[in-house]
Amino acid sequence: RIAMSKAHVLAIPYPAQGHVIPLMELSHELVKHGIKITFVNTDFTHNQIMKALGEKDIEGNEIQLVSIPDGLEDGESRNDLGKLTEAMCKVMPKKLEMLIEDVNKSVSNKITCVVADESLGWVLEMAKKMGIPSVAFWPASASLLTLSFSIQKLLEDGTIDGDGTPAKDQIIQLAPMMPAMRTTEFVWTCLGSLTTQKFIFDYMCRNNKAVEVAEWIICNSTYDHEPAAFALAPKILPIGPLAAGNHAGYLAGNFWPEDSTCLNWLDQQPTNSVTYVAFGSFTVFDHNQLQELALGLELSNKPFLWVVRSDVNNGKHHAFLKEFEDRVHPRGKVVIWAPQQKVLTHPSVACFLSHCGWNSTMEGSINGIPFLCWPYFADQFLNETYICDIWKVGLRLDRNSGIITREEVAYKIKQLLHDDTFKARALELKILAMNSVKEGGSSNKNLNNFIDWIKA
Ligand code: UDP
């Protein structure tokens, strides 16, 4: 009798913070069900995660962490996504294949399933070639993926040309009840230089094809957040919101060390009073805009917790921020990286001034937090549309004058906090999100079916 080998998933995210965190969360979920996980980062992100870790963060960790090169030199910037993706495609397939072959040498430990970020279509193709069942994991909204799946149709009806360039600046809807999308804000049109945009567009087309070999497409969302998108693309199954367990030994996959002192600071603030300000892992600020934001937070006269990453402008804000912090202490607190999920569950937090990255959007929404929206690029405009126009749990900041002024920041914080209807709707959305992940809820059922499939 041959010993039954345990289900063993190889999980591989796109090497960006907003992709690593949710796949890590999914991996923790799978580990709870007795599934073995080998988690593949690029060497660069792996080193960043290791550097950011406190020792105790990883004590009870059961996820096997491994890494392979991304094809760029050590000192090179990873901020040009076109360049990074291109380098990855050249170097990573061979390395990943070798890694899988190496793991599979141990007969009782073979990889039984590959869970890859949808944006790594080449991994899905490779799994197929190696005879391993694969799953596409989509860490953003289902709407965004349906937009990608609609590229062929957009080409045919002339909305975009063969490079993905919109014929004109217009608002379209992929189907009734879908969020309105502005063609000039299609995800590939707001991802850096023209060359990058074209590269990303072609890459997305390639991924659309590759994902056809995946046995599942799972997505960090819920039917209640995006009914029209899931109706339009029923192959995509929501399993979200994925939320961290936050228990000891929990490896979140942060690229920066978490500053937990802000949790003690939050304990000192009145219930439902604090504006939490964070722009995810990628957005950068020019100095004028950063100053206006700071002065707006000061002008709001309300407590605030603001995340300013160390890489936000090569340290150029340093002197200004130091002086600012001294002035606003203790009403305001600035940290380099917050334990965001813990912050958002804290009763002192009243609203979230956010760049509207999808993870932030889901994390705010599962905690019933209203938003002030400050999108920058990629899918953030689409997420803003969800927040402001569809779920109606937030307000836009007016950027018509080219800069978001301090008066605008202070005014919108007050407007949001003084109108209870935003909070009421945010709490309704929270209940829907909570119901979807609890036993018997729609996301929970999809996740359980998925887990049963992996284990079979
Ligand atoms: N995050 C965090 N601490 C911070 C800022 C962000 O832990 O101070 C986490 C946040 O909880 C989310 C991720 O980083 O899970 C950011 O993902 P998102 O999709 O919101 O934005 P992106 O970084 O991809 O633009």
> Does residue 88 contact residue 42 with C-beta atoms inside 8 Å?
yes
Instruction: Say what the pLDDT of residue 250 is.
Output: 75
Pocket test for ligand 1, best of 20, 21, 312 (most atoms within 8 A of CB): 21
Rounded to the nearest angstrom, the distance between the alpha carbon of 280 and the centre of ligand 1 is 4
How many whole angstroms separate alpha carbon 360 and alpha carbon 354? 7
Instruction: Say what the pLDDT of residue 1 is.
Output: 41
Instruction: Say what the pLDDT of residue 421 is.
Output: 98
Q: Within the chain, which residues score under 70 in pLDDT?
A: 1-5, 55-57, 244-249, 314-315
Q: 312-337, pLDDT tens digit by residue?
A: 776 678 889 999 999 999 999 999 99
Pocket test for ligand 1, best of 281, 345, 376, 377 (most atoms within 8 A of CB): 281
Q: Using H for helix, E for strand and C for coil, what is the string for 300-357?
A: HCCCEEEECCCCCCCCCCHHHHHHHHHHHCCCEEEECCCCHHHHHHCCCEEEEEECCC
Rounded to the nearest angstrom, the distance between the alpha carbon of 35 and the centre of ligand 1 is 26
Instruction: Say what the pLDDT of residue 400 is.
Output: 87
Ligand 1 proximity of 379 Cβ (cutoff 6 Å): no
Q: 94-128, pLDDT tens digit by residue?
A: 999 999 999 999 999 999 999 999 999 999 999 99
How many whole angstroms separate alpha carbon 128 and alpha carbon 132? 6
Ligand 1 proximity of 360 Cβ (cutoff 6 Å): yes
CA geometry: angle 324, 329, 330, nearest 5 deg: 155
**Residue owning tokens 């309300």:** 302
Write the residue with the smallest CA distance to atom 15 of ligand 1. 359
Rounded to the nearest angstrom, the distance between the alpha carbon of 13 and the centre of ligand 1 is 15
Pocket test for ligand 1, best of 360, 373, 387 (most atoms within 8 A of CB): 360
Q: 27-63, pLDDT tens digit by residue?
A: 999 999 999 999 999 999 999 999 998 766 677 788 9
Instruction: Say what the pLDDT of residue 248 is.
Output: 54
Q: Tell me the one-letter amino acid at 354.
A: S
Pocket test for ligand 1, best of 14, 17, 57 (most atoms within 8 A of CB): 17
- Of 124, 383, 340, 375, the C-alpha closest to 252 is 340
Sign of CA dihedral 340, 62, 72, 113: negative
- Of 203, 42, 19, the C-alpha closest to 117 is 19
172 SS3 class: strand
Structure tokens at 300: 């709001």
Question: What ipTM describes this predicted complex?
Answer: 1.00
Write the residue with the smallest CA distance to atom 2 of ligand 1. 340
Rounded to the nearest angstrom, the distance between the alpha carbon of 376 and the centre of ligand 1 is 14
Rounded to the nearest angstrom, the distance between the alpha carbon of 108 and the centre of ligand 1 is 37
Instruction: Say what the pLDDT of residue 251 is.
Output: 86
